[in-house]
């Protein structure tokens, strides 16, 4: 059987209940309500892990096309169902994931991590900062936060913990492993918040903000990176100290860690041709995404972010760092393109059919009746949106289901468009801190056994509060300096 029957029955029942039983509300068209039924059923299936998310997305595309909820004509319906595959943001993330394979394949990511540890690894907290800094360096060109935190940084962290006999199977995780595992993980949401290309759902946030505002707010790669720079750096500086306060390691001094990193670097040998090329591609991508050609040569030299990603992939292929076989086998990239396309398509048509505007108005009316003023009301909206992630095992599903309506409601309550967009974008990443199933990275690190469930949830909640405060205090002050409001 290709699906899990119990969660499948629940998801189907939810969809059928909305479609056939719950009356279509006043002000909502039948097609919009029926698309909502398909959408909520799909989200329920994703949460229940009925099938892999890519497979569910194929089912959703088929249902949208066959039911004709977006278009009465069959050709128009399938055209609508497939429309998002021409969306450049989807290809930006997919191609960037393909490029990030080169960082893993060449060993550049591991070398960066060991270099930082060789310099700052004489104290346990120094190792933590080294892991966090490695995350930050890799984040702009590693859109899979799971590959970055779980595939590149986590093996380094485990190797260091093992060198100090900190092993959960022996009950010695408290020596150093628990602390390093928690800092390994909590660097991940922070770096994800700092760049559009640091995690797959961020371009979806950009798309939804543009849709809600009628394209009046279109966050560029550079605008996002600049806006998140100061709060992100402050959060990264605080995070290892907060975790240290919660769960201090038994081993405080680690003089052997630096030597361990040096030995690993020696084993890796000199920097290879592939690593040099990847480093060059890395800087080319950063320069183009940051808009350097347009800054130097003027508006005529603007290069679209997705075009930049294709340039990077082309350089990797021409140089031989990646083969076409590598690209074909990069399943996570193709999977992301499929599920991203399906969810963006459904969210886009929910907006076009007026459902998001109706739902946002309902939220606005409910919260507005509390008499909190726009600051209190939008703060409540943001917190409700963030902590709803306890019910989600996918940041993409959560963002697709809730972001547009909550953002639109905030604007209707009087929030300034750009700052509220930025704080909601930050919340879309901060919510990754909460649970051991919050994002793809969490089960990888939690599954290594260094942290108990209670320790994970406690640290997650505390870090969510710390990060919210950082973005509301440091972030808002920084955005005032930048003239965003």
The DSSP line for 98-156 is: HHHHHHHHHTHHHHHHHHHHHHHTTBHHHHHHHHHHHHHHHGGG---HHIIIIIIIHHH
Q: Which DSSP string do the residues of 284-338 spell out, in sequence order?
A: HHHHHHTTHHHHHH-GGG---HHHHHHHHHHHHHHHTSS-HHHHHH-HHHHHHHH
Q: Is residue 378 part of a domain?
A: no
- Residue 336 in any domain: the answer is no
Residue 371: how many other CB atoms lie within 10 Å: 8
pLDDT in tens, the chain (485 residues): 688 999 999 999 999 999 999 999 988 999 999 999 998 898 889 878 899 888 999 999 999 999 999 999 999 999 999 998 888 877 877 887 788 788 878 888 788 878 878 887 788 898 899 889 988 988 888 777 877 887 778 877 887 788 778 888 888 888 888 999 999 999 999 999 999 988 888 988 999 999 999 889 989 898 999 999 999 999 999 999 999 999 999 888 877 777 888 888 899 899 999 999 988 998 888 888 777 887 788 888 878 878 988 999 999 999 999 999 999 998 878 987 888 788 778 878 887 898 877 877 787 788 877 777 888 888 988 998 999 888 676 788 788 888 988 899 899 888 999 999 999 999 999 999 998 878 878 877 887 888 888 899 899 999 999 999 999 999 999 999 999 87
Asked if 395 contacts 188 with a C-beta cutoff of 8 angstroms, the reply is no
Burial of 433 (0-12, 13-18, 19+ CB in 10 A): buried
- Give a yes or no: residue 37 inside a domain: no
Contact 179, 128 (CB under 8 A): yes
Estimate the crossing angle of helix 177-194 against helix 221-246, to 10 degrees.
Answer: 160
Residue 357 belongs to some domain of the structure: no
The tokens of 368 are what?
Answer: 């507005």
Find where tokens 């076409």 sit.
324
483: left (phi over 0), alpha (psi -120 to 50) or beta: left
370 domain residue, yes or no: no
List, in sequence order, every residue forming a beta bridge with 123; answer none if it has no partner: 253
**Are residues 147 and 133 in contact, defined by beta-carbon separation less than 8 angstroms?**
no
Alpha helices in 320-394 (DSSP H): 324-329, 331-352, 355-368, 373-387
User: Containing domain of residue 304, as a range?
Assistant: 89-328
pTM of the complete model: 0.78
In a domain, residue 310? The reply is yes
Q: Quote the tokens at residue 29.
A: 């068209």
Helix (H, G, I), strand (E, B) or coil at 196: helix
Whether residue 19 contacts residue 34, with contact meaning beta carbons closer than 8 Å, is answered with yes
Closest listed residue to residue 135, CA positions, set 179, 198, 177: 198
Whether 453 is covered by a domain: the verdict is no
In a domain, 279, yes or no: yes
Return the residue matching tokens 């905030």. Answer: 410
Number of domains in the chain: 1
């Amino acid at each position: 059987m290709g699906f899990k029957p119990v969660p499948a029955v629940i998801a189907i029942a939810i969809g059928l209940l909305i479609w056939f039983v719950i009356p279509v509300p006043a002000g909502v068209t039948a097609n919009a309500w029926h698309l909502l039924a398909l959408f909520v059923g799909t989200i329920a299936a994703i949460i229940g892990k009925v099938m892999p998310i890519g497979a569910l997305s194929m089912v959703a595309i088929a249902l949208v096309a066959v039911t004709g909820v977006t278009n009465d004509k069959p050709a128009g319906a399938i055209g609508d169902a497939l429309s998002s595959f021409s969306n450049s943001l989807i290809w930006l993330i997919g191609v960037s994931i393909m490029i990030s394979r080169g960082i893993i394949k060449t060993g550049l990511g591991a070398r960066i991590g060991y270099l930082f540890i060789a310099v700052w690894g004489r104290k346990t907290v120094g190792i933590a900062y080294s892991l966090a800094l490695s995350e930050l360096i890799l984040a702009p060109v590693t859109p899979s936060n799971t590959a970055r935190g779980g595939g590149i940084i986590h093996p380094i962290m485990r190797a260091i913990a093992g060198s100090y006999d900190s092993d959960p199977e022996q009950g010695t995780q408290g020596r150093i492993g628990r602390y390093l595992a928690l800092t390994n993980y909590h660097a991940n949401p922070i770096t994800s918040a700092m760049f559009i290309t640091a995690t797959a759902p961020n371009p979806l946030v950009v798309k939804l903000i543009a849709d809600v505002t009628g394209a009046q707010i279109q966050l560029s790669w550079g605008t996002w990176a600049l806006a998140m720079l100061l709060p992100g750096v402050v959060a990264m500086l605080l995070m290892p100290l907060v975790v240290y306060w919660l769960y201090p390691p038994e081993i405080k001094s680690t003089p052997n860690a630096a030597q361990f990193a040096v030995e690993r670097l020696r084993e890796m040998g000199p920097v290879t041709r592939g690593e040099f090329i990847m480093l060059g591609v890395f800087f080319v991508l950063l320069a183009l995404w940051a808009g350097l050609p347009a800054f130097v040569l003027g508006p005529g030299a603007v290069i679209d972010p997705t075009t930049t990603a294709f340039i990077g992939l082309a350089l990797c292929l021409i140089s031989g760092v990646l083969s076409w076989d590598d690209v074909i086998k990069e399943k996570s990239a193709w999977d992301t393109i499929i599920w991203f396309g399906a969810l963006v398509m459904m969210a886009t048509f929910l907006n076009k059919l007026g459902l998001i505007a109706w739902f946002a108005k309902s939220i606005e009316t409910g919260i507005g009746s509390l008499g909190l003023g726009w600051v209190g009301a939008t703060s409540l909206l943001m917190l409700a949106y963030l902590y709803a992630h306890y019910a989600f095992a996918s940041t993409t599903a959560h963002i697709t289901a809730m972001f547009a309506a909550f953002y639109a409601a905030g604007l209707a309550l009087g929030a300034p468009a750009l700052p509220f967009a930025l704080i909601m974008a930050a919340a879309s990443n901060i919510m990754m801190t909460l649970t051991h199933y919050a994002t793809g990275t969490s089960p990888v690190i939690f599954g290594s056994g260094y942290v108990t469930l209670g320790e994970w949830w406690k640290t997650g909640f505390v870090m969510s509060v710390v990060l919210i405060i950082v973005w509301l205090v440091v972030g808002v002050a920084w955005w005032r300096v930048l003239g965003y409001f």
